[in-house]
Structure 1
Amino acid sequence: MRQVLLGARVFTGEHILDGHAVVLEAERIVAVVPRHEAPVGVTARTLPSESLLVPGFIDLQVNGAGGVLFNESPTVDAALAIATTMRRTGTTGLLPTFITDAPDLTARACEAASEAMARPGGGVLGIHLEGPFISPGRAGVHAPRYIRQPEASDLESLTALAERLSRAGGRLLMTLAPERVEDTFLRRLSDAGAVLFAGHTAASFERTLESIAAGVRGFTHLFNAMPPVLNRQPGPVMAGFSADEAWCGVIVDGHHVHPANLRQLLKAKPRGKVLLVTDAMPPVGTHETTFTLYGHTILRRDGRLVTEDGTLAGADIDMSAAVRNCIHLLGVPLEEALRMASLYPAQVLGLEGRLGMLAAGHRADLTLLREDLSVQATWVGGIEQWH
């Protein structure tokens, strides 16, 4: 069934347009046209005139939401429940994120995400495996007992998973420490369709650049779980600044990274290479004040999620809040902040031909924002939901 969305301003991913209509048919966008060119005789939805219709947000790093933690419940229902909660905050596509854990649970999470991805309107785009091939010295809240180096069987199973998800239109994103893996491992995974990010790493500047040449495409929450920049040891953070081709995911919650560092990163990187992630945890979308990770209690305090000794454990933020923070904390223009939450994550995954823009042929994943940039409605594959 064809329908027309009218009344709102429209951000295509490139420009904000007034007096335009978005034409949908089933799960696809058919056209974005001046209102007087909109087809007649079809279902029309008049949206609030002060609202802004934008490409749906895409989040590459969501550990949990709505009281659900993917590591605690590596199931199809859990992945879909996380996506449902985050949809209320404008995220129409995400990667459920499974951090370092036991191999059997990791395998269950991969199968669950793969199955959830096939659910129409589910919003699951694949899976993000954050670990287990990370630095024990930069583990953060990851359990040291599960951190390890890859074996031949890992390469076999991960390349098969990457290929299977890619054939289905999804992606495997994997966070690893470059100093813990060989270049041949990186190349094989990259060639299979996996998206590789450096994170939870103590790699040298030189080793990090070598890994980028071997297939690493970006950085997971740059600055966090990495050594600081020193005068003779620039490390992975400065490699992120220096490698123009590498994407940098950042958590813009005002707690994980000082805004001054993020402003300098935005100045240093080519436009389009800095993107937003939430690193969200179960309290997001709830009033809960604690949750359990690896059997330990994590506390929700003053916008932060911390262990009892004060270690950050994910983030208490959603993507619409991250967009607002980009504007108010970092001085990012509205259009660029929206691209950091939609187009650029789609490009990281190689899905920019069907996600991240309002354009003919793209999937009808849309977010409707109020004037204050809070979320009013979403469409996932053309399925409408008001919040």
Structure 2
Amino acid sequence: MLIAADRIWLGGRLQTGLAIETDGQKVTACRPLGGDTPDAHVPLLMPGCTDLQVNGGGGVLLNTDPTVAGIEAIAAAHRKLGTARILPTLITDAPDVMEAATDAIIAAMGRPGIIGIHLEGPHISPRKRGTHDARFIRPLDARTMAVLRRLRRADVPVLLTLAPERADPALLREAAAMGVVLSAGHSMATAAEAQAALESGVTMFTHLYNAMPQMSSREPGMIAAAILSDAWCGLITDGIHVSPEMLQLTLNARPRPDRCFIVSDAMPTIGGPDHFNLYGMDIHVRDGALVNSEGSLAGAHIDMVTSIRRLVRMTGIAPERAIAMATDIPCAAMGLAPLRIAPGMPLIDLVALDDGLRLADIPGTGS
């Protein structure tokens, strides 16, 4: 089957005049359409999104089901909504839960959509814990370092979110030397402390603006340090976690415009029921937000394709830039090769969007 598209994401940009050939299972060619008559047409084709912060999906939360089956269920729920690859994300929990998740992710590597793990905590600031349970918060320690060594020996990509002011710089350097991607988040760090963390191996900031001291004229804090740096910055673009104006300010202010990427911070409600349990508390979707009984945001109720569309609508940036923020840029932030539309690409990794940047069916595939 020959499928033409008005625009195809190829080589890091949207290109026109192209089509793909498919056998119904995979892409067999991506080439100029020329004078050929296509069997079908879509407005836009792109690789599936890559999401570096996925707490859950399909009714499953990694913290409560740290198993291979749980990880596969989360990945499958997001794949149906246009996300091809994820970092299943474990938020602050007991050490044995982290170790169970480590066992599961090592066993799950190589299965569709699984590209590593994101450990968000427990080495965070109690003052900026958000929905994370204070009982399990602790400084970066030998037990977590052992987990990191085990994951890296198994060649598992690892993203570790921590409060850098609560971590020994020597341990930060040791983790970075292993190949762990260190991200500052859930932190009270000052601008100076954030800068010192960048010099100790931190290369990323987790969901910028959220669970951080806010900027002021005399206390720029870690947010200003992040924006002015060359580090990678994740952003939740649901319009709830960060206002459109602050998103626009951030995208305009970065010295490297290619260093911001989208994360969903999705919870089990994506592709699942409208509620779930976290640390014994029921979390419900209310007006598009997930809030716990303490009034804190408890992750996000959004998928990556919706995040692209909302970012374009809220800020007016070009779709091309938003697509990059959901595909190539998060891969680069983790040191991974991006997905490419090329011969051999499974169709489950391919996404079609309509003119409104909404998920569309790929003709002839039933997806």
Normalising by the residue count of structure 2, what TM-score does the alignment of the two structures yield? 0.92
Equivalent residue in structure 1 for 2:131, among 133, 141, 145? 141
Percent identity over paired residues: 40
Q: Matches of 2:277 and 2:86 in 1, distance apart?
A: 22
Equivalent residue number for residue 4 of structure 2: 7
Q: Matches of 1:69 and 1:189 in 2, distance apart?
A: 26
Q: CA deviation at 1:291?
A: 1.2
Which runs of structure 2 are paired with 1:1-387 in the superposition (5 Å)?
5-9=2-6, 10-22=8-20, 32-36=30-34, 46-47=39-40, 49-119=41-111, 122-166=112-156, 171-243=157-229, 245-269=230-254, 270-286=256-272, 288-352=273-337, 355-358=338-341, 365-377=349-361, 386-387=366-367
Runs of 4 or more, structure 1, over 6 Å off, are 24-30, 360-364
Change (3 A) 1:125 1:385: farther
SS of alignment partner, residue 208 of structure 1: helix
Change (3 A) 1:291 1:385: farther
**Contact between 1:367 and 1:375, CA under 8 Å: does it hold in 2?**
yes
Q: Matches of 1:182 and 1:61 in 2, distance apart?
A: 25
Q: CA deviation at 1:197?
A: 0.6
Greater Cα shift, 214-223 or 25-34: 25-34
Equivalent residue number for residue 41 of structure 1: none
The one-letter amino acid of 2:351's match is T
Normalising by the residue count of structure 1, what TM-score does the alignment of the two structures yield? 0.87
Q: Matches of 1:67 and 1:361 in 2, distance apart?
A: 32
Q: Matches of 1:385 and 1:191 in 2, distance apart?
A: 44
Change (3 A) 1:27 1:199: farther
SS of alignment partner, residue 237 of structure 1: helix
**Structure 2 unpaired stretches of 5+:** none
Q: Matches of 2:84 and 2:195 in 1, distance apart?
A: 33
Superposed CA deviations along residues 2-56 of structure 1, whole A, max 9, x for unmatched, are xx65222312153333332335799987753213599xxxxx9944x23311121
Q: Matches of 1:70 and 1:60 in 2, distance apart?
A: 14
Superposed CA deviations along residues 338-373 of structure 1, whole A, max 9, x for unmatched, are 000001011011112xx2443579787321112222
SS of alignment partner, residue 213 of structure 2: coil
SS of alignment partner, residue 266 of structure 2: coil
The one-letter amino acid of 1:215's match is G
Q: CA deviation at 1:78?
A: 0.9
SS of alignment partner, residue 154 of structure 2: helix
Q: Matches of 2:39 and 2:102 in 1, distance apart?
A: 40
Q: CA deviation at 1:215?
A: 1.1
| Alignment RMSD | 2.5
The one-letter amino acid of 1:216's match is V
Q: Matches of 2:129 and 2:46 in 1, distance apart?
A: 36
Q: CA deviation at 1:138?
A: 0.6
Q: CA deviation at 1:76?
A: 0.6
**Contact between 1:291 and 1:297, CA under 8 Å: does it hold in 2?**
yes
Q: Matches of 1:261 and 1:248 in 2, distance apart?
A: 13
Number of residues of Structure 1 aligned to a counterpart in Structure 2? 364
